[in-house]
Structure 1
Amino acid sequence: MEGLLINAVLREFAGRLPARSLGWAFPDEGTAALLVEGLGNLVLRYRPPHPLLTLEPSTLEGEARTAFQRSLAARARGRLLKAEQLKLDRVVFFEFEGESGFVDTPPTRLVFELTGRNANLLLTTLEGRILTLDREVRREINRFRELRPGLAYTPPPPYEKLDPRTAGPADLEPLLGLSLSQAASKHLDGLGKELSLELARRAGLTPQTVLTSEHLEPLYRALKSLVERPGERTSLTAELRAEWERQEAESLRRPLREALQKRIHTLQARLDDYRKALARLEEVPSLREKGDVLLAYLHRVPSGASSVTLEDFSGRPLEIPLDPALTPAQNAERYYSRARRLEALAERAMELQPRTQAQLEALQREISELEKATLSQLLKRLEGKEESEEGHIGLRLRSPGGFAVWVGRNAKENDFLTRSAHSMDLWFHAQGIPGSHVILRTQGQPAPLPDLLFAAQLAAYHSKARGERNVAVDYTAKKNVWRPRKAAPGQVLYTGAKTLFVDAEALSALSEGVD
């Protein structure tokens, strides 16, 4: 959720706080809803990767399901005094007054970090000491900011960006020379990808437009409009829509073109190697002649010599370089071996050259067609490419209940399959042991125990624990799994996991259930 959208929600609180809170409800393990008198339900969906802050007028119900939710309901009590955003960042602070009673409830501050895959909800004292939180962040995960009960709360790192709420036309001048999308995402506070696109629509520009002085006035008007009404979506004129499509088509075409050019370069290098191999076939008679002469005059070759001059079979002198560490016979065999190797390379080149040339010509035709492709054709091409890749990556099985199961067989497959999975698919991995990522493709449907055990046993079998008994396997929704910044493919962190204990033995489905 982007900063300006959060700000729009908080503006609904303006002038209406303090307000009496009427209690908490918890619709699920990742959502808390506070009923605020006169405002409705303040809904906080705090689990990664898509946190949400909104006001919901309808009644929400649900008892606390986790220890964190029970602690939140017990400690965040009394009137809601403040609701403040850190700049236009995705961090919001809610301050509760506390309650007096048989056991007093002291004032607290609720910190909601709507930061994508790092989203979190924390309850602290007014001084900033963390009382409880949904997801602990230890030093091995984030060496710059540790979040645990008892520690002082540290907000995300500070940054300097232009505040669109107070910016004037002159403040936008440093953006000149940048593309609109780059200027919005890197230099304007509170704007992410979607709001940057909306800003371009409202300014009558495209995301790739390089900003000049004539763009500043429409950009300023669009920015003020976006601050006031960030949730609206502006339609494009026919001319602007055509330009957007052209630029979007080019952005899709660029990586496809680069991939084709890389393959063309590889094939051209192979053809060059084949030509060199065929040219070196001329060296074979000379190599064989040197081997033959050495074998014919072994008795005349001094031991340890680096070269020798002998008469060839026509009576002419022939200088033959030698390896001093080898015997004359071994040197002769070395020449025969080099001759055989050149012949084999030339034979392989003659076999592969026509095939490689045909592949090169096909790629050159493909890149020519790519340059003429429309946006819809490029989108279909990408969809087909993804389906083709999906069909060849990873082991594909069926669970007892009919769910598709994906098993990564190396780091790259683990990374690809996990990224490709639906957010509500179930992700399995042997606990604390190197091994495969296993995806149970439920897409949010409830999975019966036999299907869970099937996937867990696959994760255990395809790990370093293969053959062991009673192996712990963690599983969680794929949305709770993320790859840390700069981590290698296949290296992930996860939250909200449950654990099954299975034997790491092979399944009969490995040979029967492959799609």
Structure 2
Amino acid sequence: MGFDAKAISLVIAEMNRTLQGGRIRKVLRPSRHLFLFQVESFSRKWALLVSIDPSRLVFTMTGWSDPDIQIMSSAGPDDPLTLQFRKYLKDGKIRLVHQHQMDRVCCIDIEKVDDGGNHYLTTVITELTGRSSNLIMVEGPGDKVIAAAVYHPPTGPQARPVIPGSSYVYPVAPASRFVDVIDDSVMLPSMANEGKAGEAVQCQKIFSIWIGGQRAKSLDLLRNRVDRVLKKIQDKALLKKKRMQAELDEIHQTMELRIKADSIMSSLHIIGTARGSIEIPDCHRGGNIPVDLDPSRTAVECANLLYKRARRLDSRSRLLKPLIETEEGILSSIELFRYDLSQQEDTQGISDVSASVLESLAGHLLAVLPISETTFLRKLSIEGESFSPISMNRSERSGRKRGGVRSRVQRSCRVRRAFIEPDIEILIGTNSIQNHNLVFRIAGREDLWFHAREIPGSHIIARRTNGVEITSSDPDYDHIIGSCGMLAAFFSKGRESGRVVVQYTNRKYLKKPGTFVPGLVIVTREETISSIPCIPDGMDLDLIIQ
């Protein structure tokens, strides 16, 4: 995939979240066009990898423990350019990673304190512009060039000279870079007479218009891809359940084996030396029962073999029953996730659903999905709104990256909020992770909890803003229960039904299940109400972040 302005902006957004405030500990140059920086940020070591090779432009980050990074870090001796970069950048703090005027130019501002306690700012500029790509280090208010991977003298064909001590000039971003991906109807007036500043502004406007027009389409594509992954897991879990159920049905014939063995032991005086297929009296049900006796074994040995086979099948039966229950739990979880997915209206919501899938089905995914699909879910769940496949590194493609998902469950909670009365607040979860956070992080023990019974839906919490408990003796209690019941029915899979049974109780009567599945709870005490799925008149819902 080529490095265009959109891709670079997404990579830079990820770097700012991860590397901003970190310190550069190592500066290496494994090859002529490849530069490697070790950044220590949030007690973790990262590798910032930059390649200005025209055939393989790279501007990305990964964990320092990646095997490929370890090989690169042990490459040959240092050259003068590496020593110069190290002099100005080592132990410097990354202040900001930014993009120049939506062009393929990435800038990293690094602050360092010299021996005299003076602060100075150095900027590392990466130009990912094909055959003219370059890595340049500048400093000072005049952006004076300190060093560069490729120097261009003033007399050369290069319009922008790059030599030590010269003032750095950014490359001009051609407007046509964005024009070829948008409709003619969004073309703005000619940029020829507006100068560089006007050109940059126009480029940003055109790019913003294109992004806005593509957002809905991209969201549908992302939702469909996650749904295809869930459908694949669901189909394989259903097939596995059917196979185990068929095996379990065959195992139920163990009683017949025991009856035959008991009949042989009780008819030894009748069998005598007879072998092969014979009929003997059925000691349990009366009548006769056919048995096959091995000519090379005695009748007692044949009976013991039947007992042994029956015990082995019983053991297999005891193993199959919990496995079938596990597959049934997976199928019910996937049904919940697919419903959640259909209700999401932004990338962040789809990201939360992916995190829920990874949390509850982590051990199952690797067995039924290709590594690429598992990596896609993991990357989407960690990055959220900034998700982009452009910055995937080798450790993620190989499925070795594990961190980040559980912490997602413990971070901010995005919920809908409404008010029945000025002091009665209603909070509605938007997906499985937010339902989990709403119930077990935000809600108080005495707050009221509502959920559509036995069907997927949002968890709803009702509470007073002043912290006072809502009790059945309150004059507006019935109105609260009725309104929340309608909301719980509306934000559930039974929305199209005439009526939905809604369960409600205090938050203190809810428990987490034994295995961590976001959105699932165990209710130890409940009451029910039959509600019409609708939003009460005059109620406005706002999306907030707790």
* Structure 1 and Structure 2 fold alike (TM over 0.5): no
Q: TM-score, normalised by structure 1?
A: 0.32
Structure in which a larger fraction of residues adopt strand: 2
